[in-house]
Amino acid sequence: MKMQKVWFITGASRGFGLEIAKAALAAGDQVVATVRSQPTQLAATLDNHPELYVVQMDVIQEDQVQAAVRQGIACFGRLDVLVNNAGYGMVTAIEEATDAEVRKQYDTNVFGLLNVTRAVLPYLRQQKSGHIINISSLFGYDAIPGWGLYGSTKFAVEGISKGLAAELAPLGIHVTVVAPGLFTTDFLSTDSYVAAKTLIADYQETVGQMRMGADALHGNQPGDPKKFAQVILQLANTEHPPLHLPVGKDAVAMYQGNAAKMAQEIEAWLPVATSTDHDHPIAASTVA
C-alpha cells in the first residue's frame, strides 16, 4: 500500500510547480504549495483540494521561508518531499548584466533554494527520511550564448545537490537534481524571463539572435509539463532515486554533448594536465 507523502513545492503558481502539485494531489498525497502572491487564486485553481495548503512566501526572504515551513509542518505533521522549483531565467550576455541584475538572479535561483533547503532539513534530519528534488536545467550542463548567466545558477544547483547528497545519504535523506529540457511552460514567455536592460551591439549576432528566438520558441517547446510532473512523482516514490536526471531528449543530448567535449579536451591536453607533479616525490615528514 502506498504511503501518503507530504510535499513542499516552491513556485507552485504555474509551470512545473503547478503541474507537480496537481500530480501529487491526484496521487493522494498532501501538498504545501508556496507562491509569492495571490495564494487564494492558486487554491481556487486547484479546486480548494482538502489535502492542499497554500502559503505565501518569497524564497529570498528567509523569515518568510522559515514561517512557511513551520506552517506546513503544523498543517500536515511532517514533510517528505521538497521540490525546489522557484526560479526564473534571464537572457543576456554576461557583460551586459549589471551587478544588481546578476545578484537578483542568484538570490532567487541559488540563495533562495538554499534558504528553503536550510529551513526544511532540520525536520528531515529528525525524521531520518525525506527526498530533496532540485530543479536545474539543461543549461546546467553546457552554455549557449545568452543563457550563460542563468545557466551558471543551475551549475551551482547541480554542485549544491551533489554536495547535499554526500552529506545527507548517511541520514536517510535522498537528493535528486532534475535538469529539464525545453517544455511548454511559461518559462519563455516575455512576462516570465528577464532580459538585461543594457544591450551591447557586439553581441547582436549571438545573444541578440537568442533574444529574438526565445519569443519565437515560446509555445513550441517539445516537452509536455504534465509528463514532466509524472517523472517527479515517480522519483518521489522510488526507493533508490538517481542523483542526476536530465529529462527530455534535448536535456539528455546537452549532457552527452558536453561530456564528450570535455573528455576530448582533457585527452588532447593530458600531457600538460598531468605535468605538474614534483620531479622527485617529497618524503613524508616524520616526528622524532
C-alpha of 62 from chain center: 18
Q: Which of 71, 44, 68, 48 is nearest to 58 (CA)?
A: 68
With 0-12 CB in 10 A as exposed, 13-18 as middle and 19+ as buried, what is 190?
exposed
Positions annotated as catalytic residues are 136, 150, 154
Q: Which residues contact 32 (CB under 8 A, 6 or more apart)?
A: 6, 7, 8, 9, 53, 54, 55, 68, 71, 72, 75, 76, 79
Q: Which of 32, 31, 231 is nearest to 135 (CA)?
A: 231
CB 190 within 8 A of CB 235: no
